[in-house]
């Protein structure tokens, strides 16, 4: 997730075997970096990746949080494939949180697939090698002559076969081979990877089984609601708690003083009751006077005015210059200039933030729908003044993540409340809490200038980006990578930055940065194409040029113009680019690289009476040589593109008097059923290691949409959201 | 004082204030957590249940308003032929991503197919527009409804 996301290196595997309770094979591994002594027991009952029972059922641990991205199914598929398991006899269990056993257990930045791709296949391959070895010993034949069929070791020459279940016990007594010595399967022989597999939790979801954080129930549990100051980090000045305590079913009401860090425990009033509704009624009875706060005058309108003023000034600093932009613009046959902007935006996971915590005798147990729970451990330890090892974490399935649950504010709140009331507590935020206390996608303001030569080639590109931060430092998720396309494709290039201070919490929203830069860069590229008198697809092809690596290969992100050209050509073909459309109907194109994926999108829209109807979207996607689960991959691409449509159409968080003004889905509109077009998804296979799909299909979608609106109406949308601009 | 509440064919003695929304009675009193909270103001549909067969938002329907009427939730909807068909179609199409909204989607779809066994696209739009899916699984929801109603094959 760009440079700002804490991304740890891939797992290094040192697999160990062991016997499962009741017989069978356990495959676990030790991370030497974790400092655990050889053979030291872990606290968790299932500290293994694979468990093969005597009846042949293979249980595979899903080690990462499932937030709707499908990793709970796709990562075990990698193990099952190389194990040569019978997929119909594979059970998937959510692994406990134990970094010492499972390594990185986060979900963010579309990194799970690339990070799991090799290690998880190696886990499966080690298991298969052990089972073959066990069969070789049983049959007193060389292992080299044996092979496997799903769930069986087979000796073709001796016409013998043995099930994994029969061999598991013997395999448990063998030493695991070094994964590096094993040859992984030829992809042509895959039986599980590359075949559409259903998400493992679907049967439980459609029958309403408890799966999510909000569904956790602990004996003796109370329910909590937490009213925080509308102005971020403001404190309670005055409150009478009696009206809340008078409500039937309310057990506790108290003030939390809170700290000053937006990521941590903030000030407010907590009400705890026998049911959440009782607590909520108690909260509704409160009248709180909030203390003045230094950020209570900030507003979205004020930020926009400051940005406009900054755009007229020389930038605070230049981040990157190639060539001489000023000279090139001076000599250009045509100069195009435009301002682009986008608002703060919220994640709005449909499951509001929540967490269950049980504090007892200086230790706390926590159940959280979290994307990066280990970060929460530090926060809770620091805030409650306890040792990190005195915190036991469990994660649940999350009702959406989108980056919101990379932050762990709800975790520290629940732990604090449980400590104060001395009972297990489930904290549940209201939707209003969720929209008004998010870590928002930062707003941003871009002043763009492009120069074209007489042939219509792009010769200069300058972006004066006004963002939030202080000095050289951006606030979280507000920075911009200097090598965003068209860096490397234009001879004269400059990224300049000016920043303003911010007192609004910001964070990573699905495809951080890129969810906005895709709109800005590909929207403006479209304007430049039209100014050059060229077809938008043809202009992009020319700009991409010959297949080569641009950006900064070896020093961070590189950008393969050939891969982008490939998806651009594919989406043009599939969408019938260039065909005639009726009056008020238009096709728009955009292509964007992020999270190691290349995605091009075409959208067809019809605009009438100021209303935009997205009729259809086409996507061409290049995430390498292997789509792990085509079923989940299609879901992620469709979902990302529709997410981009929904957010571009109507979503914004407006800051006034230091607080978010939107409060629920009435003023924060989500894409709805009748407005969702079909999305046709095509994958282009190229010979690169597989990468993730939770994010890269989103960034081109808003640009394709506004470019289509331009094609349909001649109206150029340069600020989001679109709603209200076409009337 | 306890009142009687009929849920999924079973009568429960419920000790809750009459103004308590049905959602919180289901979740926090009866432990039927399949019905979800999303907005609390009938804007998202995650809390949809059937009350005497009609799809209702349980987050704004008080216990007093339910009275003696029969409540069906996601935990019980599969006992009926239409609900079972809808759940099967949802599984066959593998609709969910995060899955949080799907209980509400299934309840709305079941109510639709009970009233209109072969709904048109417009009827599907109208019946499903009140249910937000943040992951935007709408394409598959439409397909699953058509599969459940026998209009297309899975």
Q: Could you report the per-residue pLDDT of B19-32, keeping only the tens digit for each? A: 999 999 999 999 99
pLDDT band at A97 (very low <50, low <70, confident <90, very high): confident
CA–CA separation, A398 and A358 (whole Å)? 20
Chain B residues touching A208 at Cβ < 8 A: 32-35, 73-75, 103
Q: Biggest alpha carbon distance in chain B?
A: 51
| Confidence bin at A554 (pLDDT 50/70/90) | confident
Q: State the smallest CA–CA distance between residue B1 and chain A in angstroms.
A: 12
For residue A226, list its beta bridge partners: A270
Cα–chain center distance at A207: 27
CATH class for the domain made up of A300-344+440-713: alpha beta
Distance separating the N- and C-terminal Cα atoms of chain A? 37
Instruction: Please tell me whether residue A671 adopts helix, strand or coil conformation.
Output: coil
Interior angle at CA A651, CA A649 and CA A655, nearest 5? 145
User: What is the model's pLDDT at position A36?
Assistant: 37
| DSSP run (H or E) holding A93 | strand A90-94
The domain made up of A15-206 has a fold known as: Aldehyde Oxidoreductase; domain 4 (3.30.365)
With 90 as the cut, is the pLDDT of residue A45 above it? no
Cis status of the peptide bond prior to A486, with omega within 30 of 0: yes
Distance CA A211, CA A204 (A): 8
Cβ–Cβ under 8 Å, residues A223 and A426: yes
Which residue of A lies nearest to B142 if distances are taken between CA atoms?
A673
The helix/strand/coil state of B29 is helix
Tens digit of each residue's pLDDT (9 = 90 or more) over A284-336: 999 999 999 999 999 999 999 999 999 999 999 999 999 999 999 999 999 99
pLDDT at A214: 98
Q: Is A44's pLDDT higher than 50?
A: no
Nearest to B40 among A68, A207, A431 (CB): A431
**Which H or E run contains A608?**
strand A597-608
| Res A43: pLDDT | 36
Q: What is the interface pTM, i.e. ipTM, of the complex?
A: 0.99
Best residue in B138, B143, B146 to probe A by mutation, most A CBs within 10 Å?
Answer: B138
Bridge partners of A147, per DSSP, are: A154
Beta strands in A420-576 (DSSP E): 425-428, 444-452, 458-470, 473-474, 492-500, 549-551, 558-560
Give residue A30's pLDDT. Answer: 52
Q: What is the SS3 assignment for A634?
A: helix
Q: Is-contact A662 A654, C-beta < 8 A?
A: yes
What is the separation of C-alpha B41 from the centre of its chain, rounded to a whole number of angstroms? 16
Which among B24, B129, B136 is the nearest to A642, CB-wise? B136
Q: Provide the whole-model pTM.
A: 0.95
CATH number 3.20.20.70 given to A218-293+353-428? no
pLDDT (mean) for A225-254: 98
Q: According to the model, what pLDDT value does residue A486 have?
A: 97
Give the end-to-end CA distance of chain B in Å, rounded to a whole number.
49
For residue A651, what are its two tokens? 């979503």
Predicted confidence (pLDDT) per residue in A510-547, tens digit = 999 999 999 999 999 999 999 999 999 999 999 999 99
- Among A208, A432, A663, pick the best mutation site for testing chain B contact (most B Cβ within 10 A): A208
Q: What CATH number is given for B78-148 in this structure?
A: 1.10.150.120
Q: What is the pLDDT of residue A556?
A: 67
Tokens of B68: 């003696």
- List b or e across B17-44, with b for residues whose CB sees 16 or more CB atoms inside 10 angstroms: beebbbbbbbbbbbebbbbbbbbbbbbb
Q: What is the pLDDT of residue A54?
A: 92
Q: Where does B2-72 sit in CATH, by number?
A: 3.10.20.30
- What CA–CA distance (Å, rounded) separates A648 from A601? 15
Question: Crossing angle, helix B81-93 and helix B138-148, to 10 degrees?
Answer: 130
Given a cut of 50, the residues of chain B with pLDDT beneath it are none
List, by residue range, all CATH 3.30.365.10 domains of chain A. Answer: 15-206, 218-293+353-428, 300-344+440-713
Q: Do the Cβ atoms of A350 and B29 come within 8 Å?
A: no
Closest CA in chain B for residue A209? B34
Sheet (strand A611-622) strand order: A585-594, A597-608, A611-622, A678-683
* Distant-in-sequence, close-in-space partners of A500: CB < 8 Å, separation ≥ 6: A303, A306, A307, A310, A466, A467, A468, A469
Cis before A621? omega within 30: no
Delimit the domains of chain B by residue range: 2-72, 78-148
Q: Are A446 and A368 in contact (CB under 8 A)?
A: no
- Residues on chain B touching A223 (C-beta within 8 angstroms): 28
- Test B132 with A670 for CB contact under 8 angstroms: yes
- Determine the average pLDDT of the residues in A231-246: 98
pLDDT score, position B154? 86
| pLDDT value at residue A645 | 98
- Taking CA atoms, what residue in B is nearest to A273? B28
Quick: pLDDT tens for A374-383.
999 999 999 9
């Amino acid at each position: 997730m760009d440079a700002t996301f804490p991304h740890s290196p891939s797992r290094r595997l040192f697999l160990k075997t062991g016997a499962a309770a009741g017989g069978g094979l356990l495959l676990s591994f030790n991370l030497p970096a974790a400092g655990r002594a050889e053979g030291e027991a872990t606290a968790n009952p299932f500290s293994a990746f694979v468990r093969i029972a005597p009846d042949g059922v293979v249980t595979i641990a899903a080690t990462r949080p499932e937030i709707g991205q499908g990793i709970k199914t796709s990562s075990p598929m990698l193990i099952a494939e190389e194990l040569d398991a019978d997929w119909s006899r594979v059970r998937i269990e959510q692994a406990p949180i134990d970094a010492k056993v499972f390594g990185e257990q986060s979900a963010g930045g579309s990194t799970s697939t690339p990070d799991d791709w090799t290690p998880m296949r190696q886990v499966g391959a080690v298991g298969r090698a052990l089972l073959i070895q066990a069969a070789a010993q049983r049959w007193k034949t060389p292992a080299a002559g044996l092979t496997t069929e799903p769930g069986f070791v087979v000796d073709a020459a001796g016409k013998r076969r043995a099930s994994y279940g029969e061999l598991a016990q013997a395999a448990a007594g063998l030493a695991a081979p070094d994964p590096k010595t094993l040859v992984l399967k030829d992809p042509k022989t895959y039986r599980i990877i590359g075949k559409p597999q259903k998400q493992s939790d679907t049967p439980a979801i459609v029958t309403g089984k408890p799966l999510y954080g909000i569904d956790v129930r602990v004996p003796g549990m109370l329910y909590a609601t937490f009213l925080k100051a509308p102005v971020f980090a403001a404190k309670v000045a005055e409150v009478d708690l009696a009206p809340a305590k008078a409500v039937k079913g309310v057990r506790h009401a108290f003030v939390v003083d809170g700290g000053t860090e937006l990521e941590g425990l903030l000030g407010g009033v907590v009400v705890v009751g026998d049911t959440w509704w009782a607590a909520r009624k108690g909260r509704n009875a409160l009248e709180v006077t909030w203390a003045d706060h230094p950020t209570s005058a900030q507003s979205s309108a004020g930020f926009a005015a400051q940005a406009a003023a900054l755009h007229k000034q020389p930038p605070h600093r230049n981040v990157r210059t190639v060539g001489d932009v000023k000279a090139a613009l001076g000599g250009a046959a045509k100069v195009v200039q435009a301002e682009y902007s986008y608002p703060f935006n919220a994640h709005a996971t449909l499951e509001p933030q929540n967490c269950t915590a049980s504090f007892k005798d200086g230790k706390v147990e926590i159940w959280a729908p979290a994307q990066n729970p280990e970060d929460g451990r530090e926060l809770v330890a620091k805030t409650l003044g306890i040792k990190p090892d005195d915190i036991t974490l469990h994660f649940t399935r999350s009702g959406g993540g989108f980056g919101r649950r990379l932050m762990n504010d709800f975790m520290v709140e629940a732990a604090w409340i449980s400590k104060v009331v001395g009972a297990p507590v489930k904290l549940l935020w209201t939707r209003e809490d969720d929209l008004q206390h998010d870590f928002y996608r930062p707003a941003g303001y871009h002043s763009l200038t492009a120069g074209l030569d007489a042939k219509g080639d792009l010769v200069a590109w300058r972006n004066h980006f006004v963002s939030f931060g202080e000095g050289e430092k951006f606030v979280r998720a507000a920075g911009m990578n200097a090598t965003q396309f068209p860096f490397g494709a234009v001879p004269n290039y400059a990224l300049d930055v000016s920043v303003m201070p911010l007192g609004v919490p910001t964070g990573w929203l699905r495809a951080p940065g890129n969810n906005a830069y895709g709109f800005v860069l590909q929207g403006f590229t479209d304007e430049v194409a039209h100014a050059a008198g060229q077809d938008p697809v043809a202009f992009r092809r020319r700009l991409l040029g010959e297949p080569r690596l641009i950006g900064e290969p070896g020093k961070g992100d590189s950008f393969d113009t050939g891969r982008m050209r490939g998806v651009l050509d594919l989406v043009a073909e599939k969408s019938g680019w260039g065909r005639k459309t009726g009056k008020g109907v238009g096709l728009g194109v955009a292509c964007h690289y992020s999270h190691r994926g290349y995605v091009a999108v075409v959208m067809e829209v019809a605009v009438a009476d100021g209303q935009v109807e997205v009729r259809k979207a086409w996507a061409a996607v290049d995430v390498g040589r292997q789509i792990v689960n085509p079923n989940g991959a299609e879901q992620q691409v469709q979902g990302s593109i529709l997410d981009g449509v929904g957010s571009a159409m109507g979503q914004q968080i407006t800051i006034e008097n230091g607080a978010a003004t939107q409060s629920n889905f009435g003023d924060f509109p989500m894409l709805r059923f009748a407005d969702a077009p079909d999305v046709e998804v095509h994958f282009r296979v190229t010979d690169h290691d597989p990468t993730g799909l939770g994010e890269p299909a989103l960034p081109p979608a808003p640009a394709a949409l506004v470019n289509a609106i331009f094609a349909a109406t001649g109206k150029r949308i340069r600020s989001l959201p679109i709603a209200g601009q076409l009337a | 004082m306890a009142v009687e509440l009929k849920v999924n064919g079973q009568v429960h003695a419920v000790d809750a204030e009459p103004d308590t929304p049905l959602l919180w009675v289901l979740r926090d009193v009866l432990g039927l957590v399949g019905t979800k909270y999303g907005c609390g103001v009938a804007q998202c549909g995650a809390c949809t249940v059937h009350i005497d067969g009609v799809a209702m938002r349980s987050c704004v329907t008080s216990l007093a308003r339910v009275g003696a009427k029969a409540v069906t939730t996601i935990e019980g909807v599969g006992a009926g032929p239409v609900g079972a068909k809808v759940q099967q179609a949802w599984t066959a199409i593998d609709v969910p991503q995060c899955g949080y909204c799907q209980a509400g989607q299934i309840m709305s779809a079941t109510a639709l197919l009970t009233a209109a066994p072969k709904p048109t696209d417009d009827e599907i739009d109208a019946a499903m527009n009140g249910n937000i899916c943040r992951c935007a699984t709408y394409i598959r929801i439409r397909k699953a409804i058509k599969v459940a109603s026998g209009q297309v094959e899975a």
